[in-house]
Amino acid sequence: MSPTACRLLSVLWKMIHIDGSQGEGGGQILRTSLALSAILKKPFEITGIRAHRKPPGLKPQHLAGVKAVAEMTQATVKGAALKSQTLQFTPGDLRGGSYVFDVAEETSSAGSITLLLQTVYPPLLFSPTGAKLILKGGTHVEWSPSFDYFQEIFLPATARMGAAAVFHINTWGWYPVGGGVVGGEIKPIKKLKSLQLTSRGRLKRLKASLILSNLPLSILERQRQRLQEKFGMLNLEPEIETHQVPSPGRGCAIFLLAEFEGGRAGFSSLGARGKPAERMVDEVYEAFKDYDETEGCIDAHLADQLLLFMALAEGVSSFTTSHLTQHLFTNVEVIQKFLPVRFEIQKEDRKYGRVTVTGVGFEF
């Protein structure tokens, strides 16, 4: 057998096999696999990519993530094409530097910048030099965290673990046009600290941001009145900020920040054709109310996003969350394929739950 064939067999033998149809069967399985593959320098193969989505396979934002991590690690990749349901990824050495990632590079798309950031942010924390980034695509689109959520909820949570990153939005990208532009810088880190987010404490601040591009300003006033009416029912008076923002498209969003003594939670709603402005307020109100009726410290979206960082950190990390979702359980299974950790998940009642893990103390 030739040396080349021997090396190929060695890589295949070490390759981690991921079932993309397991659990909720969405894109998070791929994003987590790419991030951990790059950090740990472990090759993987995934089959059944986004098997539970219609249509299945790689969409522009997922393909952008594959190409981004491949560029960051000089990876060998098979199956990196739109609609592909199978991918082999063999990373090389992780490199920092300056990168420009465009979700619409392959085809016109308002694919999510924040989901792309979920893929590249963890590896770049552990790169030798950190990174400066420009990302292009959708900043406020369905089925993904808004940029406001990423900036106000996700980044402060990882900062508690020692991560240092600053991001700013230059242009807002709405569905279906996209065209958003986000810039940022990620500082390198040697090791993540453990995290404790188990008790939310007293509500300190409630702030609603009303965001609008190229639509009538009367929408903002209707939403302001509705916010005061709805939250008045809870004897709460949120701070209200209005923002008219630049974008090549049209759109509107509401982001509600709930800041407690022990942590933060965030709730978003996006406008859509035929959707009353008042319904957007109702959606964030109901989401906040649903969260506030539990004792969980963090919301369900942040719970899913923090698992990877906790598994890599040094020591015991723990959080309580308002909802234990299928996304969370699926992400746990993927992480445990890459790392010798075991998450302990306790249901405190019908929804509220506690997640604990002893991290591996990964050090760059």
Which residues are designated catalytic?
327
Alpha carbon distance 17, 145 (integer Å): 28
**Containing H/E element for 167?**
strand 165-171
Residue 143's φ and ψ, nearest 5 degrees, are 65, 30
Measured distance CA(160)–CA(166) in Å, rounded? 14
Structure tokens at 152: 């106000």
Q: How much helix, strand and coil, in percent to the nearest 5, is found in the chain?
A: 35, 30, 35
Tokens of 184: 């940022």
Residue type for 255, please? F
Planar angle of CA 154, 158, 159, nearest 5 degrees: 110
User: Are 26 and 20 a contacting pair, CB within 8 Å?
Assistant: no
Q: What string of DSSP letters covers 185-209?
A: EE---S-PBP-EE----SEEEEEEE
Rounded distance, CA 282 to CA 21, Å? 34
Structure tokens at 136: 């292009």
- Residue 329's contacts (CB-CB under 8 Å, 6 or more residues apart) are 23, 345
Q: Which two tokens stand for residue 260?
A: 């407690």
